[in-house]
Amino acid sequence: MKKIFILTGEPSGDKLASTVVTKLQQNNPEIKYLSVGGSHLNKLGIKSIYDLKEITYIGFTSVISNLFKIRNKINETVKKIIEFNPDILFSVDSPDFTLRVAEKVKSINPNIKTIHYVAPQVWIWREGRVKNFKKFLDHVLLLFNFEKKYFDKENIKNTFVGHPLLENKENFKTNLSNIIDDNKKIISLFAGSRTSETNILLPILVNFIKLMNEKFNEYNFVFHATDQNKDLIKDEIKKTNYNNVEVISDENIKTQILSNSTFAVAKSGTVSLEICNLKIPSIIIYKMNFINFLIVKFLVKTKYANIINIINQKEVIPELIQKECNAKEIFRSVVYFLKNPELMKKQIFDVNNTLNEIKSKTSSSSEASAVVSSYLNA
């Protein structure tokens, strides 16, 4: 029986991994799996060797303060993978964790094929890393076509598979009036998938809702939560007396709510592509502690945080980062868009043009699973 170890480092990676594993299970139900994963892989019947929360850290200072713990987790993970002895180690995103594990695994057992999904963003920072990847990665799966040149230069096998969040999915329909007041417009809110991110952004977004409720009465606010942070968000909302706020973690319902939204306020990250793909106007927010911000400012080569803005080299989607990431600035920006529908239409038009350039011709999960299968059958 063929075996695959799925290695993720945060909830968004767990979600991406599940799209590929779903295809693999359909085409080859005999494969045995083990993982470092979360709720999405768990729903597919794949056991995780420990809770994903144990390795989900944000920012440099958090990583430094947990360095001993992280090193122990890396060593524990390597040990479990070697014991499992998979044909393939399939790592997803979170390169500072997953690739350290992959490098150690490859040095112990070179027969294990290593495939990494979501190329490290060497076009943003630390381009020199690519040279080292050649030593321990057999194949890299790229989300964006423009990444190819960085890996071709070092003769690292790579395939452009596209981004799974840009695929059009068939979702079941549910009656949203059972969840939210259908007489009101929806504003979708994303406070991050990591608890550490949510702790920073949630109070800001709650204050933003307060400002909105003081001026308007026609909006429902829906927090798009994960299984990991839904209770944290619900507890915070309970402290308020707002009756127009909901917290949803079901993936299908979240997608349906987002597609029916008037606007979205989202933490910078992969979720922004999902918002863009559904043609919902949005702004991006992000905040970290000052030391982390200085380190990022020093290391990062790009001016923007959002991939759409990076590709266009201009701010198509407004970014409220650090000191601008506060309730008043978010309120001003959102209200400005809501009062100027032509700006929302222009953003959607510009975003759609960009997405058409970076989408793969077929399904990303199908492309990725085909590469994985080719190594199983070799």
Could you give the domains of the chain? 3-162+360-376 (3.40.50.2000), 176-358 (3.40.50.2000)
Residue 363 scores a pLDDT above 70: yes
Residue-wise pLDDT tens digits, 325-341 = 999 999 999 999 999 99
Residue 301 has pLDDT above 80, yes or no: no
Amino acid 210 reads K
HSE-up (13 A, CA, CB side) for residue 237: 22
As a whole number, the mean pLDDT across the chain is 88
pLDDT of 299 above 60: no
CB-based contact 305:340 (threshold 8 Å): no
- End-to-end CA gap in the chain: 14
φ/ψ of 320, rounded to 5, equals -110, 100
Per-residue pLDDT band for 58 (boundaries 50, 70, 90) equals very low
pLDDT on residue 268: 86
Mean pLDDT of 191-199: 87
Q: Band of the pLDDT at 172, cuts 50, 70, 90?
A: low
Among residues 269, 350, 342, the alpha carbon closest in space to that of 93 is found at 269
pLDDT (mean) for 353-365: 84
Spatial distance between the Cα atoms of 104 and 225, rounded to a whole number of angstroms: 34
Of the pLDDT bands very low, low, confident and very high (cuts 50, 70, 90), residue 144 is confident
Res 130 pLDDT > 90: no
Cα atoms found within 13 Å of the Cα of residue 91, Cβ hemisphere only: 31
Query: Average pLDDT for residues 168-178, to the nearest whole number?
Result: 67
Query: pLDDT, tens digit, for every residue of 200-258?
Result: 999 999 999 999 999 999 999 999 998 889 999 999 999 998 999 999 998 889 999 99
pLDDT at 65: 59
Which pLDDT belongs to residue 217? 92
Q: Are 8 and 22 in contact (CB under 8 A)?
A: no
Whether the model clears a pTM of 0.75, i.e. scores above it, the answer is no
pLDDT at 361: 76
Mapping DSSP onto H, E and C, the string for 11-33 reads: HHHHHHHHHHHHHHHHHCCCCEE
Give the pLDDT confidence score for residue 300 in this predicted structure.
62
